[in-house]
Chains A and B, each alone.
Chain A
Amino acid sequence: MKHRPVLDVSELPTYAFGARSPMWWGTLGFCVLEGTGFALAVGAYLYLAFLNPQWPLSASPPDLIWASLLTAVLLVSVIPNYLAKKYAEAEDLPKTQIYLIVVLVLGLAAIGLRFLEFDRLHVKWDQNAYGSSLWALLGLHMAHIITDVADTAVLLVLMFTRHAHGKRFSDVGDNAFYWNFVVLSWLPIYALLYWGPRL
């Protein structure tokens, strides 16, 4: 078929931030499907909680201290995460590097706190269905923290190489988006596992 040019696209930009970028939509897609996974795991926990006359089953709920510290760390991390994204969009490399380091350190602290907590839970996964669903939710969320911390680490290293320009700044924005999802998805789990049994 013969062509009749009606539109010139040669002057269009080659990348953009936020919802204009396909990667943003891809990240959103994965957040939605993983969020569905969280919702269903929470659903399973609630289902078992309603089914059993006593819940938690023969164990006290996990101590507040470690998870509350972790929640605080995650909430604080949102600020440097926002700044990393903001400076990435301004393509300010030194500031982007600094805030990525802060996010990474806070992420590593969150992983450390989680491991400390694992040793101090009052129930094991193979003790009863309460233990199983508690460990499943904590494990599922920890997998997300580790994934994004690893992603942040790789991105940070990249930002110190010759590749640190252009589209990589857009990657920082998408990484920040995913980290917000990791933080946000923790809050209902925290309320459910730690405050639910104390109501």
Chain B
Amino acid sequence: MAHINVPEGVPGIRSLVMFRPETGKPLYELAQILLRGESTLSPAERELIAAYVSYRNNCTFCYSSHAAAARCLYEDDALIVDEVLRDMQEAPVSDKLKALLNIAGKVQILGTEVKQADIDAAKNLGATDRELHDTVLIAASFSMFNRYVDGLASLTPTDPEAYAEMGVRMAKGYTLPPQPQQ
């Protein structure tokens, strides 16, 4: 049961933004811009970064839902997602993406863990300033989302099918859910 009185049966962050839509609005706008806005990183790659950070933060709701979204977006390459979560360094993704995931993983620990050598390595593999900025901000924002969702003990479904359905919806984008009927 959640620590506060949120709509019953509604999972994760959805229940929290229904409770407090005034903060839900900028949170969903941030997610939409970061994960679906114009970028040289594909939405699939950005969802993968989000899932990777959430997995490292041990947030079941966030990593399960964003991994599902990433699998939808990767389409025939969906297995990449599970390979990255299993062993990022050995996964079949580009060296540039591995360098960005390395930075995301360090941000997940703390911002000061990111060293110039990590940035240089990513740049040497072709990462742009904008890609570095977005990687850091995705990792930082999921360090927030994970704590928000688990900090209030919001409902975490255990059925993988629930996350598969969420993934299909999330692949289309992030819009604030309507308020529950009073």
The yes or no verdict on A and B being binding partners is no
A residues apposed to B, CB below 8 Å: none
